[in-house]
Amino acid sequence: MSNDKPKLTPRQQEIFELIQRAIARTGAPPTRAEIAAELGFRSANAAEEHLQALARKGVIELVGGTSRGIRLKAGALRTVNETRKRGEGDAASTGAKVLPFSLPLPGLEQLVLPLVGRVAAGHPILAQEHVEQTYSVEPGLFARRPDYLLRVKGMSMKDVGILDGDLLAVARTREARNGQIVVARLGDEVTVKRFQRTPQGIQLLPENPDFKPILVSPDQEDFELEGLAVGLIRNQLLN
């Protein structure tokens, strides 16, 4: 297979760069409506036609069942990372970057990450009894170096492409900014949500209208911020 970059029309390149910027800024791809509004299309259908062309050229993948079902293909990873290095958004300020998993390649540096499954109340998230196994992955898959993988449970973040059974790459931190996708602990539950600090306390926001936001009051003692989502490994690519 040729390693040449696919040739894009000026409009396709514009849309491709818009997708990159959205992921770098917010951690999630844009919707068709957002692309149409940004580029002045009359309808989301026009955006869809261009996305289908980009998918045929192999630079993105389209995933059904979600309004933000746009994935950058592995060949686009370096472009995104180089964009970040040029200053278009601090990698630490973004949420999850949903990218396809690439199997380890000989001669490339590999990260060995523990996979955390069910977490017991009161125990550190990386306690040995929580680690199911380890994975070797390429560092370039992630916006920031992760410390571990967390198995996602439930569909509360499906509209940004984080699905039940996926492996979320997490960088440990106790601080987060509004809009970032975080891993938080509430008592004996570990949850993945979008972080929002308000005068009333912290809100943990789902990306699925079937779920309600979680409000954490300022004096709530069983809340702990465990880390930031910095990447995602698709569940079906591990089977």
Residue pLDDT, tens place only, 38-84 = 888 888 888 899 999 998 988 888 877 666 778 776 544 433 333 33
- Assess whether 136 carries a catalytic annotation: no
CA angle (124, 128, 132) in 5-degree steps: 110
206: nearest Cα among 164, 160, 157, 168 = 157
- Assess whether 193 carries a catalytic annotation: yes
What residue spans in the chain does CATH classification 1.10.10.10 cover?
10-89
Q: Does domain 10-89 have CATH number 1.10.10.10?
A: yes
- The pTM of this model reads 0.56
Q: 93, 97, 158, 193: which is the annotated catalytic residue?
A: 193
Residues 6+ apart with CB under 8 A from 108: 138
Q: 93, 156, 212, 217: which is the annotated catalytic residue?
A: 156
CATH node for 111-238: 2.10.109.10
How far is 170 from 181, CA to CA, in rounded Å?
A: 10
Residue pLDDT, tens place only, 84-117 = 334 433 333 333 333 333 333 333 456 788 888 7
How far is 70 from 184, CA to CA, in rounded Å?
A: 26
